[in-house]
Structure 1
Amino acid sequence: MRYLCIGEPLVEFTARRDAPSTFDRRAGGDTLNSAIYLARLSPPGSVGYLSRLGDDAMSIWLRNVMTTEGISDLCSTEAGGRPGLSFISTDARGERSFLYWREQAPARRMFLNGGDARDAVANAGTVLLSGITLAILEPESREQLFRALEQRSGAGGRIVLDTNYRPALWPDVATAQAVIGRAASLASLILPSLDDLAGCFGATDPAAAMNALTSLGGAEIALTTGGGEVMYRPPGQDAIQTYPLPPMVAAVDTTGAGDSFNAGWLVARDAGLPPDRAVALAAQLASVVVTHPGAVIPRDAMPDLGLRISA
């Protein structure tokens, strides 16, 4: 399998802008959003999703979404479990606010007694996880994930980390720094945002953010600064390059912007494109995503990025 995404699938209820008391149901969660866009940009059978769900109607619905999107469902089942829920509202600029119910979600235990989960990691070409993936796992399950990542990295697999820092999911900043830092030291590619690194590591400007990451290892880094550029460091090098982003568009909902950017970047790079073209195409996809409500746009709204990768 080319891409394995690991995380927590959520049932998201998004308030309509024209009727704030009415909510639309969608599948969500950062790595599931990325998995959907990866599947749309890749040949059939390229993408799998690893998590743990329940046996209730919402879990079955999430599995059906994955199947419909061409994602291999690698989620184990916890009897009596129910997936996490989120309620999302947006302001006039498309910026989001969230309410979550996820404390008992089965995804927190996806690696407990999880030989199948470890096998899925061992057989993946690229493993994508996020700071949220790391945050929601119970400590024992998180340690099992790290062991699987260490083995995969040692065997030549590519580990991709989206830093995605959510303070409310961590007991304290020190724990987040230690766990995300450990994952970054194993990663082949890190896809951070400046907001993430400011919140977690206190790196409030792009140069400090790059320094914080480069101190953790020699990974390839593509840092979105929240402005008009992406800062890029090739793997194992010190030189940092800066690539401009296209002009910003008027956003309806920024949910999924980073998740879609990550997918576009990965597929563009795997198609053999240089970093500047990967930035441009990933940003093109993200700029379409933010003009629609919710993280996942309709299939017929997908831009043709002209990307072709082998199965």
Structure 2
Amino acid sequence: MNSPRVLCLGEVLFDCLADQLGRSLETVESWTPYPGGAPANVASALVKLGTSAAFIGCVGGDTSGDDLVQLLGNIGVDTTAIQRHPTAPTRQVYVVRSSTGEREFAGFGKFQTTEFADTYLQGSQLPLALFENADFLVIGTLELAYPDSREAIYKALKLANRYDVKIVLDVNWRPVFWPELSEAKPLILDLLKHIDFLKLSQEEAEWLFDTTDAGAINYRLSSMEGVLVTAGSGGCAYCLGEQEGKMPAFSVEVVDTTGAGDGFLAGFIHQLCLQGISCLKDPTISAQVINYASAVGALTTTKAGAIASQPTHSEVQAFLKSSGS
């Protein structure tokens, strides 16, 4: 296998989606588990689009961990950097859904958030060879919530800087993952000093910057090469160097929004791998890159589950053609 161009570091887990829409956690009658976890979603989406990717994370030595590692491997994701914890379980997240498919994280069942294997990711075990040959490192913020995985994030940043790997951050703010909510914002803001590309939702932008203006956020983060602010059905705003604009969302029949933002991010990175970062200097190409990313995100919502619903490059192209884009 050739060295993967994109490294995705963080959590892989099972999203247990409520089978009954519009129900609270207490009134849901049954759940269906789907593989997920934002960094794992991005890795699998990239491979399906045609860009090689590796997942770096920690799962339990349990059946769930076995299943997730096998799934990623079957898709074609490089799994050589996945660590296994002998006693901590692989994470499961319970997700309730509104009548329109919008999801809300509702807890972790019988375990505390600090008890899962992903919190024990060891920075000392990160494989140097993967960083030596990669172009992009994708991270989230959930790993900042736990001491071991936080140190792994910091180690990964050092390795990325050493080997000139571009760093992409998806904020992916999930309060339910944090045992100490007061720690979150300072840690995330400090992390932003090390990032090249930032993807965040409108709600996350308001929380961190008191604005949803991608250009204003990019200006504040002077070292940033690009900012993407997503708004679900409201489309997205972007500031990529000198190029700034807004892109409406595609109209599709939504089944489940889980993983849509991860698909969007994978589509964006895939295009950068195809065309090179310098393509963003051209306003027309920048808009095309964002349009492609939006199409990947939209198609991801048309089926249940974050990974099972991800499109291939040819499916994205066919969708864009049928949409007149």
For the criterion TM > 0.5, the same-fold answer is yes
Q: Is the 8 A contact 2:199 2:228 kept in 1?
A: yes
Residue 241, structure 1, aligned to residue 244, structure 2 = yes
Partner of 2:92: 85
Match of 1:150 among 142, 158, 169: 158
Q: Which moved more, 1:150-159 or 1:209-218?
A: 209-218
CA distance in 1 between counterparts of 2:78 and 2:96 reads 30
- Give CA-to-partner distance per residue, 1:150-194, whole Å, 9 cap, x none: 342243111110111122333556532222222222111111111
How many pairs does the alignment contain?
296
Match of 2:82 among 61, 66, 75: 75
Give the aligned residue type for 1:289: T
Q: Which moved more, 1:186-195 or 1:297-306?
A: 297-306
Give the aligned residue type for 2:203: D
Residue 115, structure 1, aligned to residue 118, structure 2 = no
Residue 125, structure 1, aligned to residue 135, structure 2 = yes
Partner of 1:13: 16
Partner of 1:192: 200
Partner of 1:262: 265
Alignment map for 1:93-108 (pairs within 5 Å)? 93-101=100-108, 102-108=113-119
Give the aligned residue type for 1:80: T
Q: CA RMSD in A?
A: 2.7
Question: TM-score normalized by structure 2?
Answer: 0.81
Deviation at 1:33, TM superposition (A): 1.0
SS at match of 1:51: strand
Q: Is the 8 A contact 1:243 1:279 kept in 2?
A: no
Q: Is the 8 A contact 1:181 1:216 kept in 2?
A: no
CA distance in 2 between counterparts of 1:5 and 1:15 reads 27
Give the aligned residue type for 1:222: L
Cα 1:52–1:247 change in 2 (3 A) is closer
Question: TM-score normalized by structure 1?
Answer: 0.84
SS at match of 2:229: strand
Cα 1:297–1:212 change in 2 (3 A) is same
**Structure 1 residue ranges, 4+ long, deviating more than 6 angstroms after superposition:** 299-302
Give the aligned residue type for 1:177: K
Give the aligned residue type for 1:258: G
Cα 1:25–1:267 change in 2 (3 A) is same
Deviation at 1:257, TM superposition (A): 0.8
Cα 1:296–1:23 change in 2 (3 A) is same
SS at match of 1:192: strand
Give the aligned residue type for 2:240: P
Cα 1:293–1:144 change in 2 (3 A) is closer
- Give CA-to-partner distance per residue, 1:67-88, whole Å, 9 cap, x none: 1111111211111221111122
Cα 1:222–1:159 change in 2 (3 A) is same
CA distance in 2 between counterparts of 1:187 and 1:177 reads 16
Structure ranking higher in helix proportion: 2
Residue 218, structure 1, aligned to residue 223, structure 2 = yes
Deviation at 1:144, TM superposition (A): 4.0
Q: Is the 8 A contact 1:28 1:295 kept in 2?
A: yes
Match of 2:54 among 48, 56, 76: 48
CA distance in 2 between counterparts of 1:5 and 1:174 reads 26
Partner of 2:68: 62
CA distance in 2 between counterparts of 1:118 and 1:214 reads 33
Cα 1:59–1:78 change in 2 (3 A) is same
Residue 176, structure 1, aligned to residue 184, structure 2 = yes
Structure 1: runs of 5+ lacking an equivalent: none
Q: Is the 8 A contact 2:61 2:85 kept in 1?
A: yes
CA distance in 2 between counterparts of 1:218 and 1:270 reads 21
